[in-house]
Amino acid sequence: MKRRDFIKNTGMAGASLAATPSTLNFASLNSFSMMKNTPICVATWNFQNATKKAGEMLSRGINALDAVEEGVRVEEANLKNTTVGNGGAPDRDGHVTLDACIMSPEGNAGSVVYLKHIAHPVSVARKVMEETPHVMLAGEGALQFALENGFEKVNLLTEESEKEWKKWLQHKNYKPIINIENHDTIGMLCIDEKGDIAGACTTSGLSYKMNGRVGDSPIIGAGLFLDNEIGGAVATGMGEAVMKSVGSFLIVELMRQGKSPQEACETAVKRIVKQNPNYQDFQVAFVALNKNGEVGSYCLHQGFSYALYQNRETSNNLSKFYI
């Protein structure tokens, strides 16, 4: 089947539920688990293998945190995906460095940045969250922690990525490509049968970034944020712009004030447009999900889509866009 056959209109997502977060009350939260369209899993880009994995776990009654971790691990393991996990493109000096974070419904968070040699950074982030007094570990310390906790040391630079990097070295022109469908950061949000929300975000960052560069994806509030009373948001694209606007946190706060996930994503992108005179030159995209199961998405440049698992079906959904 062609990709377009999977594409649904964003307006369809969660259309059966009209209430906004501001109309939620304690009684409606309690009845959340009775909603017919739960569980739900949504992810940046057309990562339907990942949303299917997480969604099927949720449908079997597995909790949102376990499902979201397993879901994004699908892309971390995918060697063909050159911007997440194993097989990710290196920085300009040839190092593959990974960034990831995870948040639980209780509002706990764990993160790893500039992590080398470990194929599943999201699982290391979860261990940071659950087994240390900290939220974020970086570089050597993150690697040491991962190795001490039984993660295997592997070579993340595939032959293919090395070949592409060597080609890049010939011109050294640093210009992130605006849309690489299916080949970008995965940010995922899951709502389980109880109505609890968890989220994760994992990436190898921008290809040929400077050595030491960390983007938005592992930064709580930028690449990912959630509040189990309200909903969550995830980001992909130019991390510098997302960090400067604390985009995912902004979206959750806008939903708290009564905006729909769609309206909140649009406000966040428009703020980035206002902050960055060069906004034509890069992509940013957000996906948000609220406690009612409504999904919204907005991006700067046309071409971004998100994967959705709902009513036991997966689909790819074109995002609305600014330009």
The answer to whether the beta carbons of residues 200 and 250 sit under 8 Å apart is no
Question: Does 184 interact with ligand ASP (rule: CB under 6 A)?
Answer: yes
Footprint of ligand ASP on 245-274 (CB under 6 A): none
- Facing residues of 183 across strands? none
| Shorter beta-carbon distance to ligand ASP: residue 41 or 206 | 206
Question: Does 75 interact with ligand ASP (rule: CB under 6 A)?
Answer: no
Stretch that binds ligand ASP, among 7-15, 33-41, 215-223, 257-265 (CB under 6 A): 215-223
CB of 45 to ligand ASP, least distance (A): 9
Question: Does 239 interact with ligand ASP (rule: CB under 6 A)?
Answer: yes
Alpha-carbon distance of 134 to 148, in angstroms, equals 16
Q: Pull the structure tokens for residue 308.
A: 């959705």
Compute φ and ψ for 57, nearest 5 degrees: -65, -45
Helix (H) or strand (E) holding 299: strand 295-299
Question: Does 215 interact with ligand ASP (rule: CB under 6 A)?
Answer: yes
Question: Does 97 interact with ligand ASP (rule: CB under 6 A)?
Answer: no
**28 HSE (CA, 13 A, CB side):** 14
Question: Does 237 interact with ligand ASP (rule: CB under 6 A)?
Answer: yes
Question: Does 91 interact with ligand ASP (rule: CB under 6 A)?
Answer: no
| Shorter beta-carbon distance to ligand ASP: residue 128 or 238 | 238
- Cis peptide preceding 121, ω within 30 of 0: no
CB of 268 to ligand ASP, least distance (A): 14
Largest distance between two CA atoms of the chain:
62
Question: Does 104 interact with ligand ASP (rule: CB under 6 A)?
Answer: no
The answer to whether the beta carbons of residues 101 and 200 sit under 8 Å apart is yes
Active site residue 132: no
Q: Pull the structure tokens for residue 150.
A: 């039984």
Question: Does 216 interact with ligand ASP (rule: CB under 6 A)?
Answer: yes
Residues touching ligand ASP, count (CB under 6 A): 13
Question: Does 205 interact with ligand ASP (rule: CB under 6 A)?
Answer: yes
Residue with tokens 């210009």: 175
Helices 48-59 and 64-76: crossing angle in degrees, nearest 10, is 150
Helices 139-148 and 121-131: crossing angle in degrees, nearest 10, is 80
Query: Which residue among 38, 51, 97, 185 is the active-site one?
Result: 185
Report the interface residues with ligand ASP, using CB under 6 A.
Answer: 83, 184-185, 203, 205-206, 215-217, 236-239
Instruction: Tell me the catalytic residues.
Output: 185
